Amino acid sequence: MNAIAETAVIKQHLIDPEICIRCNTCEAICPVQAITHDNLNYVVDASKCNLCMDCISPCPTGSIDNWRSMPRIRAYSIEEQLKWEELPAELPPEELEGLVDADPEAAVAPTPAAPPAVVKDPSGQETFNSSAFGATLPPWSAAHAYSNIYGPKATQKTVTATVVGNVRVTEVGKTAGSDYDTHHIVLDFGAMPFPVLEGQSIGVVPPGVDDIGRKHHPRQYSIASPRNGERPGYNNLSLTIKRVLQDHDGDPVRGVASNYMCDLQVGDKVEVIGPFGTSFLMPNHPRSNIVMICTGTGSAPMRAMTEWRRRLRASGKFEGGKLMLFFGARTQEELPYFGPLQSLPKDFIDINFAFSRTPGQPKRYVQDAMRERAADLAQLVQDPNTFFYVCGLKSMEEGVVLALRDVVQGAGLNWDTVGGALKREGRLHLETY
Ligand SMILES: Cc1cc2nc3c(=O)[nH]c(=O)nc-3n(C[C@H](O)[C@H](O)[C@H](O)COP(=O)(O)OP(=O)(O)OC[C@H]3O[C@@H](n4cnc5c(N)ncnc54)[C@H](O)[C@@H]3O)c2cc1C
Ligand code: SF4
Ligand code: SF4
């Protein structure tokens, strides 16, 4: 191959549709908006991707880390990729060379996309990109997490778990005929290894096929129990799953995996992949503080961390730091685990609720509760032993990170410096969906 032809070949960045669990992490993180998706696939736009690699380590499955040598002008288009059921093989060298030689226009070096322009909104202000502050590294003292033990590219594709518990954890849903609710589901892995840490998630593979006859893709659920199990000594874990009965636009829909899981009976079997996640992990060193900010089922990893710290405290062998929780829901009746949370000792966890639809009361969101506690948060954020976790609906992320920024600035500190350190030191973790 001659030198000119060589420059015309790019390493095209592609996502493996067989492994991707459609978690949206890569799309949220890509600084140049090169990643997009439809109902089927997540795909990378070759004309925008500048190979910055920001998306590689946060992807929980590794499906993002795929590359194909392609003549630049024959790069797979977004439209082509959206139809894929599997990745195409590498082109044989002769074919690659032939394609380049046949096309004189291809003899142009690939130009990386321009660095991201600062996005301005009509008010003239810069758009705040909350995900830019999310850490991709775990806290320095986190335990080692195992991931992808089961999955399409692992030796064993799935592991079968048995449902050993399934109870509603919201007040809503108790009315006859109402199935708008959230369930606490316990899965047992029997003799199969499934080591997990608080903050990790699993993938559930719903049975059956989608409307184009393709096997349903796995859905991701955060683990709600601590590392030694929902029931210590057993090889089990719990999940907090809300039925999806409306899509993001409010139109009626029956979400495939959430309804499948909420309807399972004790004794039923479920196919699982994972575990996933190597950065949304809790610190393990004594006197480390944890600030948890969540809405709805975003409480799952927070329950896991709180319960692990509660077990450590009960053992008397570990001196934990402060635990602070900001927990939002539309109403108290929709808040999972409301009852059990009330029974935790006040000197163990500092709980702040925010309800946005309580009749007769002004709307209150987690960021409002955070602003009320600005003095305490300002102290915590300056302590390198404090770690922040945000989990819940995508729509909460920006408000929460902006509230944290305001807390920092209100304390006379520079947000760019503090926000940069939170990211670099694995101290601010965002998991929204
Ligand atoms: C990292 C991560 C952790 C997650 N942890 C949890 C968890 O602990 N508990 C939990 O319940 N879910 C969690 N989810 C969401 C979960 O993976 C599924 O997306 C959710 O259960 C819907 O799946 P489904 O198969 O029921 O709906 P689908 O059949 O996939 O979707 C049906 C329709 O509803 C829309 N939709 C999907 N999710 C929602 C939603 N939440 N609200 C409104 N519309 C929606 C879809 O866009 C689609 O139009 C997590 C997601 C991620 C990425
Ligand atoms: S490598 Fe960088 S530019 Fe390309 S898709 Fe990933 S995050 Fe976006
Ligand atoms: S699994 Fe990886 S490639 Fe798929 S959406 Fe999530 S981050 Fe992106």
CA-proximal residue: ligand 2, atom 7 (nearest): 30
Q: 248 in ligand 1 pocket by Cβ < 6 Å?
A: yes
Ligand 3 pocket mutation, candidates 27, 59, 84, criterion most atoms within 8 A of CB: 59
Both tokens of 298, joined, read 């975003």
Q: 201 in ligand 1 pocket by Cβ < 6 Å?
A: yes
Looking at residue 100, its pLDDT comes to 62
Both tokens of 24, joined, read 């949206």
Q: 24 in ligand 3 pocket by Cβ < 6 Å?
A: yes
Looking at residue 102, its pLDDT comes to 59
Residues in the chain where the model's pLDDT stays below 50: 1-6, 105-122
CA-proximal residue: ligand 1, atom 41 (nearest): 244
Q: CB burial class (10 A; 0-12, 13-18, 19+) of residue 343?
A: exposed
Looking at residue 42, its pLDDT comes to 98
Looking at residue 23, its pLDDT comes to 93
Q: Is the dihedral of CA 368, 373, 378, 383 positive or negative?
A: negative
Looking at residue 127, its pLDDT comes to 75
- Alpha-carbon gap, residue 115 to 414, rounded angstroms: 25
Q: 244 in ligand 1 pocket by Cβ < 6 Å?
A: yes
CA-proximal residue: ligand 3, atom 8 (nearest): 26
| Ligand positioned closest to the Cα atom of 218 | 1
Residue 328 CB neighbours (<10 A): 27
CA-proximal residue: ligand 1, atom 5 (nearest): 221
Percent of the chain with pLDDT over 90: 81
Residue 373 CB neighbours (<10 A): 17
Looking at residue 279, its pLDDT comes to 95
CA-proximal residue: ligand 2, atom 6 (nearest): 55
List pLDDT tens digits, range 36-45.
999 899 999 9
Asked whether the beta carbons of 366 and 393 are under 8 A apart, the reply is: no
In sequence order, which residues have a C-beta less than 8 Å from that of residue 83 and are 6 or more positions away? Answer: 40, 41
List pLDDT tens digits, range 110-169.
444 443 433 444 455 667 888 889 999 999 999 999 999 999 889 999 999 999 999 999
Q: CB burial class (10 A; 0-12, 13-18, 19+) of residue 231?
A: middle
Asked whether the beta carbons of 204 and 261 are under 8 A apart, the reply is: yes
Both tokens of 257, joined, read 């995996």
399 CA from centroid of ligand 3 (Å): 24
Q: 57 in ligand 2 pocket by Cβ < 6 Å?
A: no
Look up the pTM and report it.
0.91
- Alpha-carbon gap, residue 75 to 45, rounded angstroms: 9
How high is the mean pLDDT of the chain? 91
How many CA atoms does the CB half-sphere of 59 hold within 13 Å? 22
Q: Which of 7, 4, 6, 37 is nearest to 23 (CA)?
A: 37
